[in-house]
């Protein structure tokens, strides 16, 4: 909710021989401030799903309902060309009921045993998230709720 808590450097500008206001050079942030989780799928063709936002964790049921049934599966079926879904190794992504739903909908996906751990640089969406986070860091407003956060992301 507070972009200043995202990893990476914070920047400010200073005039030559000028002073920097204390409020800029020292930023107090809440150590365990509210966080928001975003799920979204992107494709190399340029299409992306609408994002799903939550302040909680994503259970297998929420993942199936909000991420797969409402977003990924319709998105996947829009593609005429052969497409493969590449989730990260989060537990819910490979829960038995999740795999059953993907198989029932003929979604071709990277199998858990073929999915490299600790290799985010290989998943294209990680570059997308880096850009999203970089843009969020430019917005210093603290979102008070999910709707305010969505505005920051827009």
Helix (H) or strand (E) run with residue 52 in it: strand 52-54
Alpha carbons within 13 A on the beta-carbon side of 98: 23
Min CB(75)–Zn ion separation in Å: 8
- Beta carbon nearer to Zn ion, 27 or 47: 47
89 is an interface residue for Zn ion by CB under 5 A: no
What mask, x for binding Zn ion by CB under 5 A, covers residues 10 to 49?
---------------------------------x-x-x--
Q: Quote the CA–CA distance of 144 and 149 in Å, as a whole number.
A: 8
Min CB(41)–Zn ion separation in Å: 10
Min CB(92)–Zn ion separation in Å: 23
Query: Under rule CB under 5 A, how many of the chain's residues touch Zn ion?
Result: 3
Residue pair 72/107 in contact by the 8 Å Cβ criterion: yes
Residue pair 57/37 in contact by the 8 Å Cβ criterion: yes
């Amino acid at each position: 909710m507070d972009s200043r808590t995202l990893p990476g450097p914070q920047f400010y500008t200073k005039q030559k021989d000028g002073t920097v206001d204390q409020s800029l050079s020292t930023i107090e942030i809440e150590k365990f401030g509210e966080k928001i989780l975003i799920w979204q799928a992107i494709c190399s063709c340029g299409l992306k799903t609408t994002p799903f936002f939550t302040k909680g964790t994503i259970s297998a049921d929420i993942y199936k309902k909000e991420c797969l049934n409402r977003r990924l599966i319709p998105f996947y079926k829009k593609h005429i060309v052969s497409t493969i879904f590449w989730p990260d190794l989060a537990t819910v992504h490979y829960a038995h009921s999740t795999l059953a739903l993907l198989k029932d909908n003929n979604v071709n996906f990277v199998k858990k045993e073929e999915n490299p751990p600790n290799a985010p640089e290989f998943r294209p969406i990680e570059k997308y998230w880096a850009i999203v986070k970089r843009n969020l860091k430019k917005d210093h407003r603290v979102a008070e709720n999910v709707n305010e956060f969505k505005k920051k992301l827009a």
